[in-house]
Amino acid sequence: MIAGDTALDFVELRKRFGQHEALKGISTSLRPGVTALLGPNGAGKSTLMHIIATISSPTSGEVRWRGERLTSKNIDRFRRELGYVPQQFAGYPQLTVGEFIRYIGRLRGLSSGDLRGRVERSIESFALQPFVRTRMGACSPGTLQRVALAQALIADPTVLLLDEPTAGVDPNNRNALGDVMRDAGKRAIVLVCTHILSDLDGLATRAIVLEDGRLASDSPTNFESANYG
Amino acid sequence: MSALVALTHAELITLVRRPAFVISALCILAFSTLLLPAPGAAYSIITYDGRPGLLLGGAAGSTSALLVAVLLGLVAFFVFGGTIRRDRRNGFGRFLAALAVPTSSFVVSRAVACAIGLLLVALGVAVVLCAEGVLRNGASFGIVEFLRCYVPTVTAPLVLFGCLAVIIDAFTPDSSAVRVTIALVAWFGVLASSIAGSAFVPIPIALAFAEIAQQAGPSTSGMAAIGYVPANPHVIPFHWTGLAITAGFILSRVYLILASFAILWLCSLAFDRFKKAISGGGIYLAQHSIVQTPAYAPLASPLRPNLVHHIVADLACGMRAQRTATILAIALAAMAALIAPWGLSIAKMILLLDAIVISRILWLGEFGIPGDRFTETIAGCARDWVLWKWLDIFGFSSVISLPVIFVALIHQGPAAACGFIIGMAFIAALLSLAARWSGGAVLGLAVAALWWYVTALNTPPPVLDIAAIAQTPSALQLAVFAALVAAALAVGRITGARGAFR
């Protein structure tokens, strides 16, 4: 475990793709709680999510976890504390929902004793019991999205990244998802990238708005005045 | 370790639940019985540098060993080659990248899962072969000897090529040139080690050398020096005494290298964008321009197009679009034809040509010429499409086969030439129909190619006759083939997409 408070800091993050600069010096800090990441298309939200998820690295600048700069030496320790739901989630269609969640649990390093209980709890939390024996390839997009969330939360992550988490999820499950996010936000950093602002109403305590790769605003949530969709 | 086990387990489940795996395994099991040498085939023991040898069949055994090595390898490429690309393509790789699992674990787990999958198939093959061997030859056949003979023959290429495919897949970027180069190096490395007589040579390939050298004639064959006597029905001990470099020896190896190149080329088509790599994108672009050519104009007509016109147009467009492939194929065929009179059988030459024909069909299967969809949409008659495609393939095959037909006429008379032509038509029909109807072009082709090779060339030893090309399969074989095509078609419908097989 890296020493220090549960804080994820970004210092002058830049990301360049050829001639295009997707992130132009983002500096901010995330603390436990639900934070909304907003902005129009092309603002750099996905790029920032990818950098935090350690899928891509910044061209310059740094990411600090608990005060320590993330490098190749300590990145795996950060990854063990990370839960991630990508925008387009695709598991293996041949695995059943139960098998897939167990699979991810084991990849996240859960012990055999721990695994069973956590898998059952995740399945229950997201009402996936009817689909435990259903192959992923036969699941609806909404069910897949719930599987994605279940796998992300299985190891009690300290940092939870949700990229468009409510896409394809029906209203009942959206409410359930809200409860899960609220619960996770009490102890973890939850960063939610979304266009559906109503899902975060009363849930997110902070909104980070990106525009053209820059930090346009970073303030306590006030979705009524926000205008991104 | 726990993550590695989890990865391997998940990968194995994913692999064996794919329709392609089940169908391929069934195909391999069904065809495996064809690999048996006929009763009375010679058996021999080969020893490398005094190390314990393996019991293997005679001429037929070693020929089929070569074919099995290459073709099961090809199947392995098709079925198992895309696991890492799959993750890249469907976005799951991005998710996996965010886990604290090293890349090496993914690669190792996939290789292990592939190896287990392949071994499962090999085990099935061994059981089928063993039962078949006992049925055909009685208890005297010797189950232990039989297993010693066939398990390595079938297992080695499956595992080697399957793992090779995964490793190439994992460690190379999306550059086909790099992949093909690696595949080339790997393949020729195997050949080189065979020539050097290394003890680590995969047995099937080493024996294929022996068989090909034997075909070249005992007086000119380096391998003949080891005392290869295929007609002897008894177990004969062999001892490696080195190679005698003679003209026949060199020719036989030149031939094999040519054949290998053609087969490698065929295998390489399994890699995406290879076509762009060899042609600088010219072929690919040309294909997209085909629909603009006047030759396809009749299709735009609401009236039923003239069949003859369409066949000519299809053939002309196909050959024009694949100019590089056509030139290469004709050149290879001509070279093979030139080598043939010097003691190499025509059946071997047909190996090369078939590889080219299959590659041509693969090409069509993989990309289709852009007119295909256009044809289906406008003309709306799939049955005719199959006929056209078959005739196109047959026409193409005939053009590139002219040198062989000529040699067949000179050396073996009109009957052999007719046999060859009929054989070509037979292959084209089988392959095109299998590709079309299996619901998965690549899988269908792999199945059809395997079927063709083992049927046509596993004739009673030691003579591999050109007539084998036109050999009519037995009713049982046809029934098995029909069942496989039906199964493939059913799965294709269930999965609803050709892409499901890839």
Q: pLDDT tens digits, residue range B193-222?
A: 333 332 233 333 344 444 333 333 322 222
pLDDT at position A97: 92
The residue of B13, B88, B99 whose CB has the most chain A CBs within 10 angstroms, and thus the best one to mutate to test that interface, is: B99
Q: Residue A78: pLDDT above 60?
A: yes
Which of A178-182, A214-218, B40-44, B494-498 comes out lowest in average pLDDT? B494-498
More confident residue, A135 or B415: A135
Please provide the size of chain B in residues. 502
Residue among B2, B6, B91 minimizing CB distance to A86: B91
A100 part of a folded domain? yes
More confident residue, A118 or B340: A118
Q: Based on the fold, state whether residues A77 and A123 are members of the same structural domain.
A: no
Q: Do A86 and B101 touch (CB under 8 A)?
A: no
Q: Based on the fold, state whether residues A152 and A170 are members of the same structural domain.
A: no
pLDDT mean over B297-306: 36
Q: Based on the fold, state whether residues A75 and A182 are members of the same structural domain.
A: yes
In this structure, which amino acid lies at residue A160? L
Average pLDDT for chain B: 46
Q: Where does the pLDDT of residue A130 fall: very low under 50, low under 70, confident under 90, or very high at 90 and above?
A: very high
Q: Residue B10: pLDDT above 70?
A: yes
Residue among B6, B14, B95 minimizing CB distance to A86: B95
Pairing label, strands B236-237, A206-211: unpaired
Tell me which chain A residues have a C-beta less than 8 angstroms from the C-beta of B2. 106, 109
Pairing label, strands A20-30, A214-220: unpaired
CATH code, domain carrying A182? 3.40.50.300
pLDDT at position A189: 93
Q: Where does the pLDDT of residue A158 fall: very low under 50, low under 70, confident under 90, or very high at 90 and above?
A: very high
Residue among A86, A107, A135 minimizing CB distance to B101: A107
Q: Assign 3-class secondary structure to B293-323.
A: CHHHHHHHCCCCCCHHHHHHHHHHHHHHHCH
How many angstroms separate the CA of residue A66 from the nearest CA in chain B?
18
Examine the fold and report which residue of A110, A140, A156 is the final residue of a domain before the chain moves on: A156
Which of A142-156, B418-432, B446-460 comes out lowest in average pLDDT? B446-460
Q: Residue B439: pLDDT above 70?
A: no
Which of B109-113, B341-345, B441-445 comes out lowest in average pLDDT? B341-345
pLDDT at position A131: 92
Domain count, chain A: 2
Q: Report the complex ipTM.
A: 0.73
Tell me the sheet residues that pair with A69: A64
Q: Based on the fold, state whether residues A48 and A63 are members of the same structural domain.
A: yes
* A88 has a chain B CB within 8 A of its CB: yes
The residue of B5, B9, B14 whose CB has the most chain A CBs within 10 angstroms, and thus the best one to mutate to test that interface, is: B14
B151 part of a folded domain? no
**Which of 123-162 (A) contact B at CB < 8 A?**
135
pLDDT mean over A106-130: 87
A228 part of a folded domain? no
B139 part of a folded domain? no
Range of the domain at A131: 89-156
B385 part of a folded domain? yes
Residue among B14, B94, B98 minimizing CB distance to A95: B14
Q: Do A107 and B3 touch (CB under 8 A)?
A: yes
Task: Report how far residue B159's alpha carbon sits from residue B279's, in angstroms, rounded to the nearest whole number.
Answer: 31
Cis peptide before B204 (omega within 30 of 0): no
Q: Where does the pLDDT of residue B27 fall: very low under 50, low under 70, confident under 90, or very high at 90 and above?
A: low
Q: How many A×B Cβ pairs under 8 Å?
A: 61
Give the chain A residue nearest B103 (alpha carbons): A76
Q: Which one, of B458, B466, B451, B345, lies nearest residue B64 by Cα?
A: B458
Task: Report how far residue B222's alpha carbon sits from residue B213's, in angstroms, rounded to the nearest whole number.
Answer: 7
Range of the domain at B427: 280-502
The two structure tokens encoding residue B242: 């080195």
Q: Residue A157: pLDDT above 80?
A: yes
Query: Which residue shows structure tokens 């890349």?
Result: B103
The two structure tokens encoding residue A100: 């897939």
B332 part of a folded domain? yes
Q: Where does the pLDDT of residue A222 fall: very low under 50, low under 70, confident under 90, or very high at 90 and above?
A: low
How many angstroms separate the CA of residue B370 from the nearest CA in chain A?
30
Helix (H, G, I), strand (E, B) or coil at B410: helix
Q: Residue B494: pLDDT above 50?
A: no
Q: Do B2 and A53 touch (CB under 8 A)?
A: no
A106 part of a folded domain? yes
Tell me which chain B residues have a C-beta less than 8 angstroms from the C-beta of A79. 98-100
Q: Based on the fold, state whether residues A149 and A187 are members of the same structural domain.
A: no
Considering only CA atoms, give the Rg of chain A: 17
* B406 has a chain A CB within 8 A of its CB: no
Q: Based on the fold, state whether residues A1 and A72 are members of the same structural domain.
A: yes
Task: Report how far residue A138's alpha carbon sits from residue A144's, in angstroms, rounded to the nearest whole number.
Answer: 9
Q: Based on the fold, state whether residues A35 and A137 are members of the same structural domain.
A: no
Query: Which residue shows structure tokens 């109503």?
Result: A198
How many angstroms separate the CA of residue B105 from the nearest CA in chain A?
11
Q: What percent of chain B stands above pLDDT 70?
A: 6
Q: Residue B39: pLDDT above 80?
A: no
Q: Residue B261: pLDDT above 60?
A: no
Residue among A76, A94, A135 minimizing CB distance to B100: A76
Q: Are B373 and B443 in contact (CB under 8 A)?
A: no
Examine the fold and report which residue of A156, A187, A212 is the final residue of a domain before the chain moves on: A156
Q: What percent of chain B stands above pLDDT 90?
A: 0
More confident residue, A187 or B465: A187
* B6 has a chain A CB within 8 A of its CB: yes
Q: Residue A53: pLDDT above 50?
A: yes
Q: Do B92 and A91 touch (CB under 8 A)?
A: yes
Q: Where does the pLDDT of residue B28 fall: very low under 50, low under 70, confident under 90, or very high at 90 and above?
A: low
Task: Report how far residue A113's alpha carbon sits from residue A122's, in angstroms, rounded to the nearest whole number.
Answer: 15
Q: Do A54 and B98 touch (CB under 8 A)?
A: yes
Q: Where does the pLDDT of residue A191 fall: very low under 50, low under 70, confident under 90, or very high at 90 and above?
A: very high
More confident residue, B15 or A59: A59
A98 part of a folded domain? yes
B374 part of a folded domain? yes
Q: Which one, of B268, B255, B216, lies nearest residue B333 by Cα?
A: B255
Task: Report how far residue B502's alpha carbon sits from residue B495's, in angstroms, rounded to the nearest whole number.
Answer: 12
Q: Based on the fold, state whether residues A70 and A162 are members of the same structural domain.
A: yes
Q: Based on the fold, state whether residues A8 and A105 are members of the same structural domain.
A: no
Q: Based on the fold, state whether residues A1 and A68 are members of the same structural domain.
A: yes
pLDDT at position B382: 36
| Other CB atoms within 10 A of residue B265 CB | 21
More confident residue, B463 or B418: B418
Q: Do B98 and A90 touch (CB under 8 A)?
A: no
Q: Are A13 and A63 in contact (CB under 8 A)?
A: yes
Q: Residue A161: pLDDT above 70?
A: yes
Q: Where does the pLDDT of residue B128 fall: very low under 50, low under 70, confident under 90, or very high at 90 and above?
A: low
Q: Based on the fold, state whether residues A34 and A10 are members of the same structural domain.
A: yes
Examine the fold and report which residue of A156, A176, A197 is the final residue of a domain before the chain moves on: A156
Residue among B5, B9, B99 minimizing CB distance to A108: B99
Q: Residue A63: pLDDT above 60?
A: yes
* B414 has a chain A CB within 8 A of its CB: no
More confident residue, A48 or B86: A48
pLDDT at position A190: 92
B123 part of a folded domain? no
Domain count, chain B: 1
pLDDT at position A87: 78
Helix (H, G, I), strand (E, B) or coil at B273: coil
* B17 has a chain A CB within 8 A of its CB: yes
B153 part of a folded domain? no
B291 part of a folded domain? yes
How many angstroms separate the CA of residue B100 from the nearest CA in chain A?
5
The phi and psi torsions of A222 (rounded to 5 degrees) equal -145, 80
Q: Do A89 and B94 touch (CB under 8 A)?
A: no
